[in-house]
């Protein structure tokens, strides 16, 4: 089983020809609501890629919360660890342009009430093959989750987004960190993916830097280095492509024990499928789709 301790947001997605600049108003083409949040996205991605998945997080007592719970459950995710708290669920306001690029504003809502894993969460984490974490929960909760997994001997996979300074107690509990190129630069202060990878390896055992259409770069403290090309496709919407990559990578690497090179190819194929579809959770491919698309 893979556990995901993270955020659940309702994505409010506006599609435009070109994203507005500061002070500018543009006319949108259409609008939709899609269950998302980096934690929920990674849970759904991992479940669709073939793993048993438990989601640990919180939603509000509003309609968005009920819809997100239903979406996770329908994807095969165990939602017994999804708390309901008074107030609003988290939301993400997303603008997607015709080139498939996006900009996102996240309002934490119920996610901001989580200060750490509950007793039931700790039990789920201890039974897991890996714990997936992101930075859309309060930092104290993320640190507590990572340390609980470390104590239980469970690998911790961290997506450091939104990018922010990482406390030493978090970094010390992380097994694999998976930033994109911009996040890697923001965390390390180093320009260039290769240089950022080396800087991150001073803190973490394994590093995967996602490079969008340029693929992914991997390094470990053992000295192994890999560069895996992306599957060439026309992007429609890149929302949650990184979460799809991480969810699929965790399945391949930790649930199934694939060699890292094969796991990266599996994750890249999953991400390539997701960018050809609109939305976050709605864009994530099934196991059969991933296998059929691998080069």
Q: CB burial class (10 A; 0-12, 13-18, 19+) of residue 86?
A: exposed
* Residues facing 13 on adjacent strands: 32, 94
Q: Are 125 and 5 in contact (CB under 8 A)?
A: yes
User: Mind listing the pLDDT tens digit for each residue in 156-172?
Assistant: 999 999 999 999 999 99
> What is the tens place of the pLDDT at every residue in 6-40?
999 998 999 999 999 999 999 999 999 989 899 99
Instruction: Please report the pLDDT score of residue 254 as a whole number.
Output: 97
Q: What was the pLDDT predicted at 102?
A: 83
Catalytic: 243? yes
pLDDT given at position 283: 85
In a 13 Å sphere around the CA of 144, the CA atoms on its Cβ side amount to 15
Number of neighbouring beta carbons within 10 Å of residue 256: 15
Looking at residue 87, its pLDDT comes to 97
Among candidate residues 97, 121, 237, 243, the one labeled active-site is 243
Which residues of the chain carry a pLDDT beneath 70?
A: 295
């Amino acid at each position: 089983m893979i556990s995901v301790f993270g955020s659940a947001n309702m994505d409010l997605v506006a599609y435009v020809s070109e994203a507005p600049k500061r002070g500018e108003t543009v006319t949108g083409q259409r609008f939709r609501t899609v269950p998302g949040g980096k934690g929920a996205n990674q849970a759904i991605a991992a479940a669709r890629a073939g793993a048993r998945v438990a989601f640990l997080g919180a939603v509000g007592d509003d309609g968005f919360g009920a819809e997100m719970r239903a979406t996770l459950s329908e994807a095969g995710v165990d939602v017994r660890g999804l708390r309901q708290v008074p107030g609003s669920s988290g939301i993400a306001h997303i603008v997607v342009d015709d080139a498939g690029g996006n900009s996102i504003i996240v309002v934490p809502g119920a996610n901001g009430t989580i200060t750490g894993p509950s007793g039931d969460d700790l039990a789920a984490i201890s039974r897991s093959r890996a714990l997936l974490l992101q930075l859309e929960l309060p930092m104290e909760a993320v640190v507590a989750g990572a340390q609980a997994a470390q104590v239980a001997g469970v690998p911790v996979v961290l997506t450091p987004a939104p990018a922010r300074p990482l406390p030493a107690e978090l970094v010390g509990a992380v097994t694999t960190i998976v930033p994109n190129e911009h996040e890697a630069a923001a965390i390390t202060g180093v320009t260039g993916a290769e240089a950022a990878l080396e800087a991150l390896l001073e803190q973490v055992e394994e590093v995967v830097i996602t490079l969008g259409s340029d693929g992914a770069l991997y390094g470990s403290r053992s000295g192994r280095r890999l560069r895996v090309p992306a599957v060439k496709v026309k992007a429609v919407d890149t929302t949650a492509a990184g979460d799809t990559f991480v969810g699929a990578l965790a399945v391949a690497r930790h649930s199934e024990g694939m060699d890292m090179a094969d796991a990266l190819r599996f994750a890249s194929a999953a991400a390539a499928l997701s960018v050809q579809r609109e939305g976050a959770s709605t864009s994530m491919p099934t196991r059969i789709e991933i296998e059929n698309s691998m080069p």
